[in-house]
Amino acid sequence: MTPATAPHRAYLRRRGRLTTAQARALDELSPRYLVDLPDTDMGADFWLDTFGRDGPLAIETCFGNGAALVQFAKSRPTWNCLGVDVYRPGFGALMLACERDGIDNVHIADSEVLSLLCRLEPGTVSRLSALFPDPWPKKRHHKRRLVNGDFAAAVAACLEVDGTLHLATDWEDYASQMIEVLGAEPRLEGGVAARPERPVTPFEAKGLARGRRVVDLAYRRVVTLQLS
């Protein structure tokens, strides 16, 4: 696929205060967990090499401190789990959790997610999730939001048939935007869903403390009829 442009890339925050433990993790554990992303497209062989085994590929983007990804990876030891984000303190936190719990089915890609999805071989992802992507609440900033038409098209392309997309947000108008853009993508079917098994994330906890309502969404990749 041709990489789509990612207009929100300029607004991503890579750096933040690192704890001593996170700094140590970035120094010592990056060779073990960070994926060396190629300039070329990435197919099943690339993930076989990266994880050292075959298995369903689950991607969590916007993983923050990685707690949800850790829980998912522990509950699905046969899955290959990839965290995609750009926030270095989060990389450190996730590496520390993986080291502590002896998790060996997680790797981290330091990348803006849309540009990565556009370089994946179509139909190679079994599950994709983004919990509480930045809400960009001001109307003039809505164009920076991750979940838009380009994202929906990229997700539909990289998911295998019956593969799933899971999203959560606590901004009502972002939930409406997600429902609208994903509803317009014929290869995805779904909508508002019951909360799946996942921990309360740090961003979610802040919203809940302010009385926000969380909306979970789930979609499935379906086969569409190609009329010639």
Q: Which residues of the shown chain bind ligand SAM in the complex (CB under 6 A)?
A: 8, 12, 61-64, 84-87, 90, 112-114, 131-134, 146, 201-204
Taking the least distance from each CB to ligand SAM, the nearer of 33 and 132 is: 132
CA angle in degrees (0–180, nearest 5) for 223-1-189? 25
Q: CB 109 → ligand SAM: shortest distance, Å?
A: 9
Provide the minimum distance between the beta carbon of 95 and ligand SAM in the complex, in angstroms, as a whole number. Answer: 15
CA distances from 122 to 103, 158, 166, 191, 210 (A): 28, 4, 18, 23, 40
Q: Which residues, other chains included, contact 58 with Cβ-Cβ below 8 Å and sequence gap of 6+?
A: 72, 73, 76, 79, 80, 81, 82, 125, 126, 127, 128, 129
Characterize the bridge pairing of strands 215-221 and 106-110.
unpaired
Residue 43 or 202: which CB sits closer to ligand SAM? 202
H/E element, 101: helix 88-101
Which CB sits closer to ligand SAM, 216 or 222? 216
3-state DSSP helix/strand/coil percent for the chain, to nearest 5? 40, 20, 40
Q: Compare residues 12 and 52 and give the one whose CB is closer to ligand SAM.
A: 12
Q: Of all residues in this chain, which one has the CB nearest to ligand SAM in the complex?
A: 64
Alpha helices, DSSP H only, in 124-171?
149-158
Q: How far is the CB of 11 from ligand SAM (least distance, A)?
A: 8
111 DSSP 8-state letter = S
Cβ-based nearer residue to ligand SAM, 193 or 222: 193
Catalytic residue at 134?
Answer: yes
Length of the chain equals 228
- Write the burial class of residue 218 (CB in 10 Å: 0-12 exposed, 13-18 middle, 19+ buried): middle
Catalytic position from the list 49, 134, 170, 216: 134
The residues annotated with a catalytic role in the active site are 134
